[in-house]
Amino acid sequence: MMKPQNARGVPLKDEDLKVGKVLTTEWRVKADYAWDCGIAIGRYFDGLKEGKILATRCRRCRRTVVPPRIFCEWCFKPMDEWVEVRDTGRVNTFSVSYFSWDMTPLEKPEVPAVVEIDGCSPGVGFMHLLGEVGDNLDEILRRVKVGMKVRAVWKPADQRTGAITDILYFKPEEE
């Protein structure tokens, strides 16, 4: 793109700012805000604080999902039937990671997994960590399998805050 012939201006230099050639202002931004997690996730978090996993069920297609949704993605009908599901499930997929969620290197690997929760429709679950599965890659790969049955390990009731972290991790369960 060609620069217009009549464009005028002078580039700014750091010195111009320091000696006051350019008008500046400073202020502290007050950016307080509140976040509303909505009806479905709000009730889900309340359930976690009580040590329960709550799901919603579509009255039309009978699909049960967790985390809960306010409408069914398959038939677009409201999902206003609430059910408590078990805190057990099966590993759908997993990974072995030597970095935490914020890219901090880890000495012992973490094992994030998608856990299909018992009582939900097939293929429905959420991602969480597996625990008590070993401290090194060989041990983890020997113990963790797709389809492996797992159970939630909860924080003590007085330490729960109504967050997904109220479940510390999922551990292997004997078949």
Q: What pTM, to 2 d.p., does this model score? A: 0.78
Using DSSP, state whether 16 is helix, strand or coil: helix
* Residue 159 CA: distances (Å) to CA of 31, 33, 42, 154, 167: 29, 25, 18, 10, 11
Indicate the Cα dihedral angle 104, 147, 119, 53, nearest 10°. Answer: -20
Q: What angle do CA 118, 96, 123 make, to 5 degrees?
A: 25
Confidence band for 175, pLDDT divided at 50, 70 and 90: low
Find out whether 133 and 126 touch, Cβ atoms under 8 Å.
no
Q: Is the pLDDT of residue 25 over 90?
A: no
The pLDDT tens digits of the residues spanning 89-126 come to 999 999 999 998 888 999 999 999 999 999 999 999 99
CA–CA separation, 43 and 28 (whole Å)? 36
Confidence band for 2, pLDDT divided at 50, 70 and 90: low
DSSP state of 119: T
The region of weakest confidence among 3-7, 113-117, 137-141 is 3-7
Which residue in the block uniquely carries the two structure tokens 């020997």?
A: 142
Q: What is the mean pLDDT of the chain?
A: 91
